[in-house]
Structure formats: structure tokens, C-alpha cells
């Protein structure tokens, strides 16, 4: 059952200020170290969830082996170290309430920087049908088809405000309570109930979706949980932490803190659970044996894995049906400050394949722009994914040059990352469709024999990186209880 306590960042953080404290919460005392040739637990996936589970288990004396399919650590944390300022192609902002994330960076002495404020430096100017529309022009502009009460708001802010105003959850953690089923409806239904037309929904929610592909395929219940969770970050000082050198440093340092090295390049294709133990099959024929397995993989990856015995029907359905967000980023560097030439904001909210363009300020001097990221989401990402990476990068540059002539010859695309095309992720993160929160969320984190599941999609009280850490912690405690 969800707690009635709305945890603040501080309460989570102080409660889990050390692994020892975490273990004592679970009523555990450290176990003696086991012989190195005996594996207690195999953890599959060296992202935040798997690594957190592995560290917690090791600290309690269990022998743990971590298997990773890629040739790098970190999963959906990906810092672009060859782009100025090391922008993130994956998880970026660590907020005030990220107790577990902040705790691990402190315990492992990972240098962090607070970027709060850097993102608020300029406003996002709107580009519709090739026309730039400033904040001042928007309320009376001919393209502003919003209802009277909403005309002064930028289209990108309308969904955030509307969903916040209509949020029925007294406590955001109520989202996984069965009594919340009536709220597991589409965002489209919420907009319609509030009197918006299809054109107005297209201009606001669908233009650069924050989840899903359109207001039809996203659960308002997930968005209301998200709204409450994000609001809880306001309980503390403005916080947008990131690791110096890139957030990927965090899982890399966690992996180095393990007693044995992560087994890299081992793509898992099957997991067996028997009365005697568990076995993990890799594509290259390697088989790992342990008492228990922690599976820290994203749902789309599990669509191609064999579970023996087969998973319960509700869990199988979740694996095959819960979509992961299509997100493709193009990273750009600027040869000259084109925004000084036209004196417009460097940040852009567009209806082109460039989507939502953010000026990154990742140098120590936070007034200097280090690079740009064009975030293509939903259908926009799917469009970019239809062409080759080179064509995708060229397409984004040419669209920006078209809508903003001062960019011409000044912007160079240096990196493209499609999360949907990434076979070790299958998308950016889980986006629950209407009805899926109440149908599936309770099932995806349930153990199956000796197989325990974690990963951001199984988190109940947090999202993103902190959700991944929460889920790894829960899976570790489950295993400790079971062994």
C-alpha cells in the first residue's frame, strides 16, 4: 500500500544516508563475506538500478556478479565526452529529492556541480510554420488558437499547468493504489474535459510531447504522479546536479566500487529459475549460475528473452505492451554565436524535426554556451529514425537554418542518439498508456521464483534516475530476505 507520508528529499536522503542505515531499515545485519568462487546473485544490467542492487548486496556480504550486454557501463546514462561541455544524451538533471543519487555521489566522492539557474537564463522562443513568435507577440498572435484563459501562456507550458491544476491525487504515491483506477485515463480525455479542441491539443501537448506520441496514448495518472513528484522537488533549494565530466561517471564509479569486475559484452537471452538455483544464458553461450538473479533490464529488451518457467500472464503482457518513449537527440556545436547576431533567444521550441532546442551551458562559466541539443520526441523522433544518422543530423541543421537564417553555416551537428533504435534500451523510458498503470505497474516488480526485477519502470515513489536507484534497493532487500 502506498504510504500516506509524502517523503521529502531530506527524509529519503537521511534515511538512506549509508548502506548500513539502509540495511538497518530492512532489519538486516551484515552477513560474513562468502567464498569468492560461489555466486549468490547474478545481476543483469550495469545501469543505475543493477549497480545499486549489486553494491547493496555486496556490502551485506553476498557474492555478486554483474553482467552487462554493452561495451560500456551506465545504460541510459550517456555522457558525450567528445562534445564540448560533455552534454548528456541520457539522464541529465538530479533534483533536490534525489536522495539515493545524492547519497551515492557523496559516498563515492564523485564531484558534482549544481546547474540550477543555467536553464532559466533564456526563454524558449516559439517557431511555428517557419515564423519566430516572441513571448510578447504570442498572446495576440494570429496563430494563437488557445482558449481565452490560456492565450497568454506559451503552448509548451499549457500541459504542465493544466495537468497540475487538475491533479486529483492527494499524495502522488497514490498513483499505484487500485483506488486510482478512475484516473488511469488518457491525457486527451483530460484536455477534452477542460474544453480544449483537437487543434488546441495538437498545439500544446502534441507539438513536442513530453511522453508518448500524443495525448491519446499517455495515462493522465502517470502524468499526475509525475506532477506531484516534480512538485516535491520544490521542497528544497533549486537543485540540478550533474557529475563533473558527465553523469556517466556515477555508474562508472559505482562499477569500480564493486569487488569483482562487471562482465562486459554479455548479452543475456534467457533466465531459468529452478528449486536449486537460477541460470542465466548469454548469446555467446556463456551460462552464469547463482542462487538468485536480479534482472535490471528495460521492458523492451525482455521482449526478446526466454523466461523459464514462463512469466505470469500479467507480467508478460506488460513486457509486450508497455511502450517506451521514442526520443532522438541531435547534438550541435556553434562556430559563431548566431544568437548574438539576431539577438533572439538561443533556446527554441519548434514544430520541425529539431523539436525542442536547448542551449547547454556546461562550462564552469555558466553564461557561455557549450553546445546545443535538439530533442526530437514522439512522432518527431520517429521521423528522424526513418533516415540514416547522417541524414538525420543534416535534416536538423537544414531545418534550423530554414527557420532561423542567422544559423546558416554556423551550426554543426556532431552526434545523434536514437534511444528507440538502441537495442539495449528500446526507448527512452516507460510511458504508461491509459489503463496500464493500474493493470501492470503492480506486476512488473514482482519476483518470479528466484528472479527479481528492478529498473526505473518498476519504481513506485520516484521517476528516472532516482526511480532506478529505488528499484535496485527494493530488489536487493528482496534477495536478502529470500537467501
Ligand X SMILES: Cc1cc2nc3c(=O)[nH]c(=O)nc-3n(C[C@H](O)[C@H](O)[C@H](O)COP(=O)(O)OP(=O)(O)OC[C@H]3O[C@@H](n4cnc5c(N)ncnc54)[C@H](O)[C@@H]3O)c2cc1C
Binding stretches for ligand X (CB under 6 A): 44-50, 67-70, 75-77, 90-93, 267-268, 296-298, 301, 327, 419, 424-425, 428-429, 455-456, 464-466, 468
| Strand duo 292-295 + 41-44: pairing | parallel
| Strand duo 278-282 + 268-273: pairing | antiparallel
Is the preceding peptide bond at 309 cis, omega within 30 degrees of 0? yes
CB of 221 vs ligand X, minimal distance in Å: 19
Are 264 and 274 in contact by the 8 Å Cβ rule? The answer is no
Closer of 297 and 358 to ligand X (Cβ): 297
Closer of 191 and 325 to ligand X (Cβ): 325
Closer of 77 and 258 to ligand X (Cβ): 77
Are 167 and 180 in contact by the 8 Å Cβ rule? The answer is no
> Which one, of 445, 464, 455, 458, lies nearest residue 98 by Cα?
464
Closer of 190 and 447 to ligand X (Cβ): 447
Residues shown for the chain: 483
State the Cα–Cα distance between residues 219 and 175, nearest whole angstrom.
Answer: 11
Angle CA 227–302–41, to nearest 5:
95
CB of 46 vs ligand X, minimal distance in Å: 5
CB of 331 vs ligand X, minimal distance in Å: 11
CB of 112 vs ligand X, minimal distance in Å: 14
Closer of 200 and 273 to ligand X (Cβ): 273
Closer of 215 and 430 to ligand X (Cβ): 430
Looking up cell 519548434, which residue turns up? Answer: 350
Closer of 184 and 456 to ligand X (Cβ): 456
State the Cα–Cα distance between residues 319 and 310, nearest whole angstrom.
Answer: 12
Helix axes 158-165, 220-232, angle to 10 degrees: 90
CB of 72 vs ligand X, minimal distance in Å: 8
State the Cα–Cα distance between residues 239 and 118, nearest whole angstrom.
Answer: 11
Closer of 59 and 428 to ligand X (Cβ): 428
Cβ-Cβ contacts under 8 Å for 480 (sequence gap 6 or more)? 23, 26, 28, 57, 60, 62
State the Cα–Cα distance between residues 200 and 7, nearest whole angstrom.
Answer: 36
CB of 243 vs ligand X, minimal distance in Å: 13
CB of 179 vs ligand X, minimal distance in Å: 27
Closer of 66 and 187 to ligand X (Cβ): 66
Closer of 144 and 371 to ligand X (Cβ): 371
CB of 139 vs ligand X, minimal distance in Å: 30
CA 206 to chain CA centroid, nearest Å: 20
What backbone torsions phi and psi does residue 62 show, to the nearest 5 degrees? -85, 145
State the Cα–Cα distance between residues 478 and 483, nearest whole angstrom.
Answer: 9
CB of 426 vs ligand X, minimal distance in Å: 9
Extended strands (E) in 356-399? 356-360, 371-377
- Label residue 82 exposed, middle or buried (CB < 10 Å: 0-12, 13-18, 19+): exposed
Are 350 and 356 in contact by the 8 Å Cβ rule? The answer is yes
Element (H, E) at 294: strand 292-295
CB of 321 vs ligand X, minimal distance in Å: 19
Distances (CA, A) of 301 to 50, 167, 171, 426, 427: 15, 32, 32, 7, 10
CB of 300 vs ligand X, minimal distance in Å: 9
CB of 355 vs ligand X, minimal distance in Å: 12
Closer of 190 and 420 to ligand X (Cβ): 420
Closer of 203 and 473 to ligand X (Cβ): 473
C-alpha cell at 320: 509486450
Amino acid at each position: 500500500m502506498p504510504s500516506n507520508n509524502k517523503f521529502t528529499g531530506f527524509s529519503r536522503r537521511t534515511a538512506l544516508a549509508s548502506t548500513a542505515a539502509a540495511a538497518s531499515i530492512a532489519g538486516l545485519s551484515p552477513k560474513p563475506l562468502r567464498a569468492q568462487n560461489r555466486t549468490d546473485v547474478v545481476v543483469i544490467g550495469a545501469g543505475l538500478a543493477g549497480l545499486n542492487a549489486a553494491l547493496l548486496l555486496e556490502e551485506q556480504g553476498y557474492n555478486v556478479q554483474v553482467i552487462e550486454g554493452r561495451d560500456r557501463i551506465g545504460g541510459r546514462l550517456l555522457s558525450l565526452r567528445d562534445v564540448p561541455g560533455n552534454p548528456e544524451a541520457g539522464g541529465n538533471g538530479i533534483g533536490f529529492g534525489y536522495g539515493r543519487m545524492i547519497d551515492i555521489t557523496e559516498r563515492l566522492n564523485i564531484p558534482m556541480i549544481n546547474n540550477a539557474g543555467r536553464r532559466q537564463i533564456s526563454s524558449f522562443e516559439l517557431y511555428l510554420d517557419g515564423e519566430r513568435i516572441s513571448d510578447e507577440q504570442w498572446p495576440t498572435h494570429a496563430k494563437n488558437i488557445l482558449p481565452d484563459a490560456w492565450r497568454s501562456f506559451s503552448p509548451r507550458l499549457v500541459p504542465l499547468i493544466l495537468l497540475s491544476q487538475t491533479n486529483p491525487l492527494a499524495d502522488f504515491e497514490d498513483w499505484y493504489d487500485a483506488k486510482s483506477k478512475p484516473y488511469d485515463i488518457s491525457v486527451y480525455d483530460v484536455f477534452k474535459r477542460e474544453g480544449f479542441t483537437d487543434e488546441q491539443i495538437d498545439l500544446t501537448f502534441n507539438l513536442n510531447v513530453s511522453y508518448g506520441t500524443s495525448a491519446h496514448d499517455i495515462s493522465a495518472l502517470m502524468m499526475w504522479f509525475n506532477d506531484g513528484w516534480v512538485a516535491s522537488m520544490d521542497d528544497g533549494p533549486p537543485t540540478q546536479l550533474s557529475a563533473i565530466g558527465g553523469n556517466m561517471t556515477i555508474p562508472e564509479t559505482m562499477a569500480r566500487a564493486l569487488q569483482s569486475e562487471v562482465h562486459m559484452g554479455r548479452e543475456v537471452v534467457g533466465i531459468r529459475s529452478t528449486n536449486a538455483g537460477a541460470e542465466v544464458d548469454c548469446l555467446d553461450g556463456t551460462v552464469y549460475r547463482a542462487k538468485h538473479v536480479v534482472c535490471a533490464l528495460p521492458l523492451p529488451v525482455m521482449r526478446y528473452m526466454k523466461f523459464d518457467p514462463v512469466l505470469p500472464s500479467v507480467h508478460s503482457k506488460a513486457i509486450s505492451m508497455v511502450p517506451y518513449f521514442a526520443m532522438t537527440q541531435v547534438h550541435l556545436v556553434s562556430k559563431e554565436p548566431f544568437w548574438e547576431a539576431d539577438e533572439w533567444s538561443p533556446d527554441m521550441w519548434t514544430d520541425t524535426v529539431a523539436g525542442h532546442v536547448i542551449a547547454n551551458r556546461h562550462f564552469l562559466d555558466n553564461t557561455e554556451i557549450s553546445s546545443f541539443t535538439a530533442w526530437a520526441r514522439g512522432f518527431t523522433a520517429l521521423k528522424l529514425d526513418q533516415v540514416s544518422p547522417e541524414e538525420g543530423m543534416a535534416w536538423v541543421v537544414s531545418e534550423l537554418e530554414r527557420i532561423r537564417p542567422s544559423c546558416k553555416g554556423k551550426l554543426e551537428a556532431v552526434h545523434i542518439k536514437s534511444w528507440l533504435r538502441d537495442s539495449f534500451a528500446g526507448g527512452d523510458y516507460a510511458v504508461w498508456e491509459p489503463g496500464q498503470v493500474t493493470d501492470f505497474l503492480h506486476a512488473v516488480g514482482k519476483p518470479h521464483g528466484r528472479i527479481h526485477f528492478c529498473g526505473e519502470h518498476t519504481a513506485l515513489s520516484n521517476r528516472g534516475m532516482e526511480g532506478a536507484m529505488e528499484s535496485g534497493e527494493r530488489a536487493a532487500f528482496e534477495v536478502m530476505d529470500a537467501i
